[in-house]
Amino acid sequence: MATSSRPCSIEACKSPSRTVCICCDKCYCMEHLAQHFGRINNKIPPLSDKINGLAKRLNKFASIEPSYLVALEKWRVEAHKTVEDYYESKRRDFIDDRRGKLEKE
């Protein structure tokens, strides 16, 4: 890490900064950089716990949702069959009616 002419971002610190944190874009001397990384690392477990909690909720939702989707899909198939059966019935009636009229002519 190259020495920077910018001071450490901590107000009371007179040490020159040694690096810029890519997370917050602030300059830190080595001592304050270590403290900064410590604070960041302390935030990781709670964040990880939140992510894991959200993943569990999502998985629970995903396991519940298919039962509703299965019922909806069953209804869709049955509704399509009802429409198809009605169509076929009316189609046959129409054809039979036309044949009957043609035979009378």
Tens digit of pLDDT per residue, the chain (105 long)?
454 478 999 999 988 988 998 889 999 999 999 999 999 888 889 889 999 999 998 888 777 767 788 899 999 999 999 999 999 999 999 999 999 988 887
Count of Cβ atoms closer than 10 Å to residue 17 Cβ: 23
In a domain, 65, yes or no: yes
pLDDT for 67 equals 79
pLDDT for 12 equals 92
In a domain, 81, yes or no: yes
In a domain, 80, yes or no: yes
In a domain, 58, yes or no: yes
pLDDT for 75 equals 97
Those residues with Cβ within 8 angstroms of residue 24's Cβ, 6 or more apart along the chain or in another chain: 36
In a domain, 61, yes or no: yes
In a domain, 72, yes or no: yes
Note down the domain range covering 24: 19-104
Tokens coding 6: 């910018």
Considering the entire predicted model, what is its pTM?
A: 0.44
In a domain, 55, yes or no: yes
Element (H, E) at 88: helix 30-104
In a domain, 4, yes or no: no
Number of domains composing the chain: 1
